[in-house]
């Protein structure tokens, strides 16, 4: 397999590898599955399209693969507009959830097939198959049939087949959805490490937020055919652009109120329960606007003794849930009957139990004041 080229110029790396421009897709002429998509995918990056069912992410992938045709706009691969280029001429590798391996072919024959179709010399095919089997650590399985492999082994062979012909781009559609949790997490890291080794551009579709956060350089969050935010995993999680992203990515405590003032990097919000919160202004439109405050469970802390002067609340413990390395403490707090605090097990007061009254503090820098209304597709 070819390795990432360290001599590639900065200009080449900066040039978009894939571009969507004004791309739309509708099946009935009225309802847009994808609405005016403008997206640049960087060469060599791992970009994940994330969103609930029906949000448009898979349709974008299928248009890029050539299995769907845009209703409007254009898609470029490098300098070429590929709207009318058939799938087999796009030099794109595909990995599907169901593996799509030929059951009547051995592992080696499955890997030889895309190379034979491209009419490569037999000797070159042998070398490429050998190399890709070594890369996925399945050299000893070359003579087996897919049904003789475990799910994880089949997935690695499907990945190897997508990479064996050195594609321009690799597309993955929910490739780990059929695996159990432990194997799925192992394959996430394996695919990430292969990507880092080869430097190939990957576009990955999933509805699993944890998977996207683990594997991606950037994540594009879709809802109702529109990208709500595209950013690094850390930025999406810590600085969501709107209430949909905050609620969809990871766990979120939502507190509702009205903006009373905005002063630079901070704003004051009067909660519906009457309490005041100091927060970081997100996409709220201004003073007097309704807002949803987003607080991640690990950004709220139980405190005792000396406490901060802002964002300190009293709450009643409803439930303490043990999860091994941490506990989830469910509280009645700040107008929410389901406020969650996530605490490392090493910091837990083991005497804590349901019915206790506790003090909870929140840093304004980790509270986002966002739009109050979410228009969301059904899950």
- Tell whether 199 is covered by a domain: yes
Task: Please give the span between the terminal C-alpha atoms of the chain, in angstroms, as a whole number.
Answer: 39
- Which residues contact residue 223 at a Cβ distance below 8 angstroms, ignoring those fewer than 6 apart? 51, 52, 55, 244, 248, 375, 376, 377
**Domain total of the chain:** 2
Same domain, 283 and 209: no
Q: Can you give the pLDDT at residue 328?
A: 96
**Are 205 and 33 in contact, with CB atoms under 8 Å apart?**
no
pLDDT mean over 61-76: 96
Residue 217 has a CB neighbour count (10 Å cut-off) of 15
Same domain, 62 and 114: yes
Q: Can you give the pLDDT at residue 304?
A: 80
- Tell whether 27 is covered by a domain: yes
Lowest mean pLDDT segment, chosen from 3-7, 176-180, 246-250: 3-7
Q: Output the domain CATH number for residue 305.
A: 2.40.50.100
Same domain, 234 and 259: no
Same domain, 80 and 158: yes
Strands 46-50 and 72-77: unpaired
**Are 333 and 315 in contact, with CB atoms under 8 Å apart?**
yes
- Tell whether 212 is covered by a domain: yes
- Tell whether 244 is covered by a domain: no
Same domain, 71 and 16: yes
pLDDT reading at 4 higher than 80 = no
Q: For residue 323, what are the domain limits?
A: 253-371
pLDDT reading at 5 higher than 80 = no
CA dist., res. 36 & res. 22, Å (int): 4
Mean pLDDT in the chain?
91
pLDDT reading at 37 higher than 90 = yes
- Tell whether 4 is covered by a domain: no
Same domain, 46 and 99: yes
- Tell whether 104 is covered by a domain: yes
pLDDT digits (tens, 9 = 90+) for 106-134: 999 999 999 999 999 999 999 999 999 99
Among 207, 238, 269, the domain boundary falls at: 238
Among 190, 206, 238, the domain boundary falls at: 238
pLDDT reading at 10 higher than 60 = no
pLDDT digits (tens, 9 = 90+) for 219-251: 999 999 999 999 999 999 999 999 999 999 989
b/e per residue 180-216 (b: at least 16 CB within 10 A): eeebbeebbebbbebbeebbbbbbbbbbbbebbbebb
- Tell whether 377 is covered by a domain: no
Among 204, 238, 272, the domain boundary falls at: 238
CA dist., res. 309 & res. 363, Å (int): 10
Phi, psi (rounded to 5 degrees) for 251:
-95, 150
CA dist., res. 288 & res. 259, Å (int): 5
Same domain, 269 and 346: yes
């Amino acid at each position: 397999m070819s390795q990432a080229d360290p001599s590639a110029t900065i200009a080449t790396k900066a040039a978009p590898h894939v571009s969507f421009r004004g791309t739309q897709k509708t099946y009935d002429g009225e309802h847009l599955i994808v609405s005016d998509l403008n997206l640049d995918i960087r060469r060599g990056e791992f970009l994940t399209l994330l969103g609930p069912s029906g949000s448009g992410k898979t349709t974008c992938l299928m248009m890029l693969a050539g299995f769907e045709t845009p209703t409007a706009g254009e898609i470029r691969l490098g300098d070429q507009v590929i709207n009318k280029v058939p799938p087999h001429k796009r030099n794109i590798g595909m990995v599907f959830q169901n593996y799509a391996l030929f059951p009547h072919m051995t592992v080696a024959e499955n890997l030889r097939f895309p190379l034979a179709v491209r009419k490569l010399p037999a000797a070159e095919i042998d070398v490429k198959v050998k190399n890709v089997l070594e890369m996925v650590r399945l050299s000893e399985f070359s003579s087996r049939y897919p049904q003789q492999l475990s799910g994880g082994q089949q997935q690695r062979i499907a990945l190897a087949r997508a990479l064996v012909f050195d594609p321009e781009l690799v597309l993955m559609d929910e490739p780990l959805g059929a695996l159990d949790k432990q194997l799925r997490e192992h394959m996430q890291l394996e695919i990430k490490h292969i990507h880092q080794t080869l430097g190939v551009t990957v576009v990955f579709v999933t509805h699993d937020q944890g998977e996207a956060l683990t594997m991606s350089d950037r994540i594009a969050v879709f809802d109702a055919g529109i990208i709500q935010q595209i950013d690094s995993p850390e930025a999406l999680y810590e600085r969501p652009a709107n209430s949909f992203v905050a609620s969809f990515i990871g766990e979120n405590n939502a507190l509702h109120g009205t903006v009373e003032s905005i002063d630079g990097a901070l704003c004051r919000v009067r909660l519906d329960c009457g309490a005041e919160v100091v927060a970081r202004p997100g996409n709220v439109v201004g003073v007097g606007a309704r807002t949803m405050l987003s607080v991640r469970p690990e950004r709220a802390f139980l405190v005792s003794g000396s406490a901060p002067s802002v964002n300190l609340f009293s709450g009643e413990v409803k439930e303490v849930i043990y999860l091994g390395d941490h506990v989830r403490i469910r509280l009645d707090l700040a107008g929410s009957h389901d406020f969650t605090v996530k605490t490392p097990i090493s910091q837990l007061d083991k005497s804590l139990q349901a019915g206790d009254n506790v003090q909870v503090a929140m840093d304004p820098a980790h509270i986002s004041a966002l739009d109050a209304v979410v228009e969301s597709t059904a899950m």
